[in-house]
Amino acid sequence: MIKNYLTLALKVLRRRPFYTFVSLFGISFTLMILMLITSMGDALFGANKPMTEVDRMVFLPQLQRYTEFFDTTYTVDTIVMDDGATRFDSTQRVEPNGNMNNSNGPMSYSFLDKNMRDFTDVDDYTFLSNNGFIDAYLDGRKVTLATYYVDANYWNVFDFNFLYGLPFGTDDVAGANKVVVLTERAATNYFGEVSAGVIGREMDLGDQKYRVVGIVQRPLKDDDNIAGDVFLPLTTIDPRQYGNQELQGPFQAVFLASSPGKRESVKKQLEFFATNFVMPPGSDFEHIRLYSGTAMDAFAARTMQTNDTGKAKLMVFIPLLTLLALFLALPLINLINLNVSRVFERKSEIAVRKAFGADSSDILSQFLFENLVLTIIGGVIGFVLAVLVIRYVNANDLIGTVRLAFSLKVLLYFIIVVLLFGMLSGILPAYRMSRTNIGTALR
């Protein structure tokens, strides 16, 4: 029966080439865009290298120093005593007036080193500085590279795929050794190749020479904590920044909780620490606040430029989900309308089939199958188009350092979307077709 349905479906599609073209164009274009959105979403939020443990990570990008201002309100109560005397009682209430003097920014290495190493429910942690750039010189060419200063634990928290060489270790960090780990893109831009022969070669970074010890694969995720071109031991940063004893500086922290459920425990410990932190003498501020969160929290806060992660997520994801729903609904409604018009054109055909004994369930199954065949063909075309677009995007670095890819998860999402699209766009027209009245249709 399936073979007969397939043969009939292909004949129907060939019968009306213009309708078939319009339907396939709408389906393939829509599914291509959905594939690209899914791949981008996976790059942003998926558990991909070098953040396969993203579900366990807690990010601490900045600290706020603040002084809160208060207003004093006096309330006077009048009480008449038993002897007729009047007594006045005043109540003093001190409340925040909404004004605040504050300073936000990353933290100093000294602050992190002294205070951020002894939390429970943490398997590992790393301190890094990711807001620097450095000029590299080779044969008279200048290449500007995004520079990350990291500790040895960085390579434990973030599981980069090393194409060649190895990460630098604790001895390199302790000794402030001039060693560097490159991304494959940086290696290509500077040395013109990505090969084992690059390991051990020297780079002129600023006014210093660094020895290449490793080359990492381009990340499959888009995140500020992994988007560097070159990674250097944090002890090689400007000594003034490394030795800074203030609270704020160029560094931030990432904690790897013992399990996804323990992230809240880590966040609460950070909040408790900030609440009870005693400011150093002579400080211009009275308190600190630590802004920690998950990868999604950090993305929303960074996108909306706010520290209120709850509000930031609503502002980011509600419009995105609304746009996505509209994007799905419009072609779906268009395809349903096309299918409904096809139903009316095939009324006499359906009536003849019913006259020869076909029941409504047969008609319903046939039309749904035809629509699924059309959607699957459009899905294959959309898949091929998406592959070509992703290859072009990756080859030309159109979205920065991140690389789009097809994971099994993305492919599974794509198959589910194709099947749902075929079923939803076909169920109403198929039901109408199955209810065709023989007498009315044959007049």
Q: Tell me: pLDDT of 106 over 90.
A: yes
Any idea which of 199-208, 283-292, 318-327, 432-441 has the lowest mean pLDDT?
432-441
Whether pLDDT at 426 is above 80: no
User: Long-range contacts of range 166-169, CB-CB < 8 Å, 24 or more positions apart?
Assistant: 166/213, 166/214, 167/213, 167/214, 168/213, 168/214, 168/233
The whole-number pLDDT of residue 186 equals: 92
Residue 440 has pLDDT above 60, yes or no: no
Confidence of residue 364 (pLDDT cuts 50, 70, 90): confident
At residue 1, the pLDDT reads 57
- Position 432 pLDDT exceeds 70: no
pLDDT the model gives residue 392: 86
- What pLDDT does 37 receive? 81
Most confident segment among 44-58, 105-119, 215-229: 105-119
Q: What is the pLDDT of residues 298-309, one digit of tens each?
A: 877 777 777 777
Average pLDDT over all residues of the chain: 82
User: Per-residue pLDDT averaged across 271-278, rounded?
Assistant: 95
163: confidence class by pLDDT, cuts 50, 70, 90: very high
Least confident of 32-41, 81-90, 236-245: 81-90
Q: Write down the domain spans for the chain.
A: 2-50+315-442, 109-242
Residue 184 has pLDDT above 70, yes or no: yes
Percent of the chain at pLDDT > 70 equals 78
pLDDT at 368 over 70: yes
Q: pLDDT, tens digit, for every residue of 107-118?
A: 999 999 999 999
Three-state secondary structure string covering 127-196? EEEEEEEEEEEECCEEEEEEEEEECCCHHHHCCCCEEEECCCCHHHHHCCCCEEEEEHHHHHHHHCCCCH
Q: Quick one: pLDDT band at residue 69, thresholds 50, 70, 90? A: confident
Q: Could you give the CA distance from residue 239 to residue 79 in angstroms, rounded to a whole number?
A: 67
**Higher model confidence: residue 26 or residue 85?**
26
Mean pLDDT (whole number) for 238-258: 95
pTM of the model: 0.76
pLDDT band at 95 (very low <50, low <70, confident <90, very high): low
Angle in degrees, 0-180, between the axes of helices 17-45 and 295-304, rounded to the nearest 10:
100
> Between 224 and 411, where is the model more confident?
224
Most confident of 22-26, 278-282, 313-317: 278-282
3-state secondary structure the chain: CHHHHHHHHHHHHHHCHHHHHHHHHHHHHHHHHHHHHHHHHHHHHCCCCCCCCHHHEEEEEEEEEEEEEEEEEEEEEEEECCCCCEEEEEEEEEEEEEEEEEEEECECHHHHHHHCCCCCCEEEEEEEEEEEEEEEEECCEEEEEEEEEECCCHHHHCCCCEEEECCCCHHHHHCCCCEEEEEHHHHHHHHCCCCHHHCCCEEEECCEEEEEEEEECCCCCCCCCCCCCEEEEHHHCCHHHHCCCCCECCEEEEEEECCHHHHHHHHHHHHHHHHHCCCCCCCCCCEEEEEEECHHHHHHHHHHCCCCHHHHHHHHHHHHHHHHHHHHHHHHHHHHHHHHHHHHHCHHHHHHHHHCCCCHHHHHHHHHHHHHHHHHHHHHHHHHHHHHHHHHHHHCCCCCCCCCCCCHHHHHHHHHHHHHHHHHHHHHHHHHHHCCCHHHHHC
User: What is the Cα–Cα distance from 352 to 441, expressed in whole angstroms?
Assistant: 9
pLDDT for 77 equals: 67
